[in-house]
Amino acid sequence: MRDVTTVEGASPGLAAPGRAPGVLAAPLATTVAVVTVVASGLVLARYDPALVVERSTTPWLSFVELAAAVVMVAGAWAVRATHPLASTGLAVATAGSLLPLWAASPWLPGSVRAGVLAAAPFTVAGVAQVALGWPTEVPPAARRAGRAVYVLAGLAGLTHLLGYNAFADPGCFRTCEDVPPVLGGILTTRAAVTVASLLTIAAAAVGAAAAVLAARPARAPRSVTGAVVLALAALALAAATRLVGWGDALASVSRFAPEPFAVALVGAVVCAIGFRTVRTRAAIDRLAAQLSDPAAALRQSGGAIRGVQFLVPDDRRWVDAAGQDVGDPPGPGSDLVLSDASGPVLRLLLARRADQGEVLAGLTPATRLALRNAQLAAVASARLAQVRASQRRVVATSDAERRRIERDLHDGAQQRLVSVAFHLRVALSGADPAAGVRLTSAEARVRDALARLRRLAHGIFPSVLASEGLGAALDELVAASNVPATLTVRVDSVADAPAMAAYATVVAALDAVERPSVATREMISVLQHGGTLTVRVEVTGGDGTVVAPDCTDAADRVGALGGHLTLSGPAQDGMLTVTAVIPCGS
């Protein structure tokens, strides 16, 4: 159930860190906005009715500008992590729309005040980038269009920077100092403004067209595209108005500067989307929490529900969330059984005061889904436990049978063969030489049969394991092998089943040595730590003489106890490691 939460991290585009411009852009834009707002505040503080009339501004407009600045900056931060390119665009637009306002700050040097006006065209580029850079995978066409917009804006800014002299601008209405630009002799201010404005309009047109058309395969949401196109239209219109009204001082003075508001519009839309993302994510987190721990979710039910139990289908038994069997609820009315088309699925154990109707009404679809999920998990656990138990029974039954066969061989066939050997010996003492030879040969055959039978019986069931314990049985095993081995056994007391599993593991690993060389060594360790038995067998130096062992029986025994067996090798140099971790429940 944990992986429900990983969906969050795995969802593409939610986290795209490491885009350097996006990291710095938002803080920089914030700085610009703060400086602008503070400067604006200072202008207001030095309230001069003459100036205000001259600029035809009112204090409320400054407050609106403040609000606009806040919205842009908030937008840039809201999608900084989720849409870094768009965030950068918004930051650029923020700076581009706010920096020109610094021109009205009388305490800045004249050259700076003239220079900051050149930032205005970048507003267009930044706004266009919000739409073009929104998708996680920006289509190549949109990428190219974005670059073109930036080039146009850059050219406009450059032209402005090189050719604009505030003193020569009839639209300049306040403290317009004479700061001759670099290309002042070649390019008149009017020409510079004309070129810059036309380039800005062109940039806006390209940006808007690209936002609608070029970004087709992966486009920004409709609301973002709409806001961007609207803002670009406003910016283009502002540039055109300024161009048309060139020379009309009154028109310039009374002109409303729409740039910050155009950017603020985009910022507001972006903010809304960022807020929606946060809300959606919180809702998904809550759902995930419910899915992974419905019990905790139920506890938040105000104490009406004490717990939940699940029905194992076709089995008529109830289990808890961990798959353990549970008894019947204390009495009628103390539980609420929920069913689906196939019949009862689960029951909620109700507190004494709880009202069934209220609880039913309180079950949201998400809670039902979470409960269903928990039921599947609980039933799977219960079934797995059942399968394990049955596997253990199969192993135990087969062991009991093997033990019986071993005893039968020993107490029946073997004893009789021994007595035959004795009687052959008795017959031999009174026999003539010719019969004696035959009797001696017969006795040798009986002995051979006995030896074979003993090996066979031991292979069927190692009786020493049951009678003397795991350590003794492993001692026997190592002693019977002709490969040098070190054996470390540290166990307290182990039940029959885990002991058999450990023994089978060692037998399987040792069987891998087919033709031992003088360099072949075996290292066997069986260690008990609390409720876990760890068996490790290493075979080394058996160059070309070690085959892959058949661990099926060992793995079955280990698996039946809920442990696991791992086999690595044999490698080129004959190195082989078999490890089994066996729960031994003590």
Partner 1 sequence: MRVVVADDVMLVRSGLARLLSDAGVEVVGEAADADALLRLVALDQPDVAIVDIRMPPTHTDEGLVAARRIRERYPRTSVVLLSQYLEPRYAQRLLADQPGGLGYLLKERVSDIAVLVDALRRVTEGECVVDPTIVARLMQRRRPDSPLTLLTSRERDILALMAEGRSNAGIAGELGISERTVEAASAQLFRKLGLEPSPDLNRRVLAVLTLLRN
* Residues making contact with partner 1 (CB under 8 A): 407, 410-411, 414-416, 418-419, 421-426, 429, 443, 447, 450-451, 454, 458, 463-464, 467-468, 472, 475-476, 478-480, 484-487
Instruction: Kindly tell me which of 342 and 467 has the beta carbon lying closer to partner 1.
Output: 467
The CB-of-465 to partner 1 minimum distance in angstroms stands at 11
Contact 472, 505 (CB under 8 A): no
Instruction: Kindly tell me which of 144 and 423 has the beta carbon lying closer to partner 1.
Output: 423
What does the alpha-carbon distance between residue 393 and residue 391 come to, in Å, rounded to a whole number? 5
Structure token digits, residue 121: 């065209």
Alpha-carbon separation of residue 480 from 359, 464, 522 (angstroms): 69, 13, 13
The CB-of-395 to partner 1 minimum distance in angstroms stands at 22
Give the distance, in angstroms, between the CA of residue 185 and the centroid of all CA atoms in the same chain.
63
Full DSSP string of 490-544: E-S---HHHHHHHHHHHHHHHHTBSS--TT-EEEEEEEEETTEEEEEEEEES-TT
Q: Which helix (DSSP H) or strand (DSSP E) does residue 310 occupy?
A: strand 305-312
Full DSSP string of 282-307: HHHHHHHHHHH-HHHHHHTTTSSEEE
Helix/strand/coil for 348:
strand
Q: Is 541 left (phi over 0), alpha (psi -120 to 50) or beta?
A: left
Instruction: Kindly tell me which of 424 and 567 has the beta carbon lying closer to partner 1.
Output: 424
Q: Is 371 left (phi over 0), alpha (psi -120 to 50) or beta?
A: alpha
Closest to 503 measured CA to CA, from 457, 542, 549, 537: 537
What does the alpha-carbon distance between residue 76 and residue 398 come to, in Å, rounded to a whole number? 71
The CB-of-449 to partner 1 minimum distance in angstroms stands at 10
Contact 570, 512 (CB under 8 A): yes
Instruction: Kindly tell me which of 486 and 552 has the beta carbon lying closer to partner 1.
Output: 486
The CB-of-575 to partner 1 minimum distance in angstroms stands at 20
Contact 576, 569 (CB under 8 A): yes
Structure token digits, residue 564: 């696991």
Give every CB contact of residue 579 below 8 A, 6+ residues apart in sequence. Answer: 534, 535, 536, 537, 565, 566, 567
The CB-of-433 to partner 1 minimum distance in angstroms stands at 18
The CB-of-521 to partner 1 minimum distance in angstroms stands at 10
Instruction: Kindly tell me which of 270 and 489 has the beta carbon lying closer to partner 1.
Output: 489
Instruction: Kindly tell me which of 220 and 485 has the beta carbon lying closer to partner 1.
Output: 485
The CB-of-476 to partner 1 minimum distance in angstroms stands at 7
What does the alpha-carbon distance between residue 165 and residue 113 come to, in Å, rounded to a whole number? 11
The CB-of-451 to partner 1 minimum distance in angstroms stands at 8
The CB-of-510 to partner 1 minimum distance in angstroms stands at 14
Instruction: Kindly tell me which of 212 and 420 has the beta carbon lying closer to partner 1.
Output: 420
Instruction: Kindly tell me which of 55 and 447 has the beta carbon lying closer to partner 1.
Output: 447
Instruction: Kindly tell me which of 315 and 408 has the beta carbon lying closer to partner 1.
Output: 408
Instruction: Kindly tell me which of 342 and 482 has the beta carbon lying closer to partner 1.
Output: 482
The CB-of-435 to partner 1 minimum distance in angstroms stands at 17
Matching residue, tokens 């008795």: 426
The CB-of-500 to partner 1 minimum distance in angstroms stands at 17
Instruction: Kindly tell me which of 196 and 424 has the beta carbon lying closer to partner 1.
Output: 424
Helix/strand/coil for 343:
strand
What does the alpha-carbon distance between residue 526 and residue 524 come to, in Å, rounded to a whole number? 7
